[in-house]
Structure 1
Amino acid sequence: MASVIYFLCALTALACAFLLLRSYLRQRFRLLLWSGLCFAGLAINNMLLVLERIFLPQIDLSLFRLLSALIALLPLLYGLVWEEE
């Protein structure tokens, strides 16, 4: 059951990234871009979790997951702090 939940979380983050980036291409509101990039990174983070927990349980990918989460949040942080509109 846990593997299904991990996979659904990755799929949801990927869908959110797709919808946000598609909305950015239509409306050109920059916060949509930063949010879409953040969710794309979080989808990668969730895919690493699926890879670690289901396919490669003997390998510890926690450092890569933490780094991907940090990198995923940086565009959103930039957009919230330095973007003006």
Structure 2
Amino acid sequence: MSMFPPAVYLLCATASLVCLVLLTRSYLQTRSRLLLWSALSFVGFSANNLLVFVDLILLPASVDLLPFRNLTSIAAIGILLYGFIWETE
């Protein structure tokens, strides 16, 4: 098995977690609600990336986490859309 797919999946999860931390830190400094909704959406994006890694790398092919992965990504996008539409000034 090649080392590139696991490395890419972990780098994507790490990038999502870094974005989550930076958005949360910025929200705590400025209290901008749009930053809050963006940080909350990155909770879902980070969970989605971790589920991709677990599903495609760690678990056997007989186990499929696709419905859970889709649910987390839809929830994250929904949170972000809510923040963009109803919380902008």
The aligned residue for residue 60 of structure 2 is 57
Asked if 1:19 is matched to 2:17, the reply is: no
Q: Which has the larger radius of gyration?
A: 2
The amino acid across from 1:29 in the alignment is S
Out of 34, 49, 53, which is 2:37 matched to? 34
The aligned residue for residue 78 of structure 1 is 82
TM-score, scaled relative to structure 2: 0.91
State percent identity of aligned pairs: 48
The unaligned stretches of length 5 or more in structure 2 are none
* Superposed structure 1 runs of 4+ greater than 6 Å apart: none
TM-score, scaled relative to structure 1: 0.95
How far 1:68 moved relative to its partner? 0.5
What is the rounded CA distance, in whole Å, between the counterparts of 2:57 and 2:18 in structure 1? 21
Deviations 1:44-85 (A, max 9, x none): 000000000111032110010000001111221111111142
What is the rounded CA distance, in whole Å, between the counterparts of 1:80 and 1:35 in structure 2? 9
Indicate the SS of the match to 2:64.
coil
How far 1:40 moved relative to its partner? 1.4
The unaligned stretches of length 5 or more in structure 1 are none
Asked if 1:4 is matched to 2:2, the reply is: no
RMSD of the alignment, in Å? Answer: 0.9
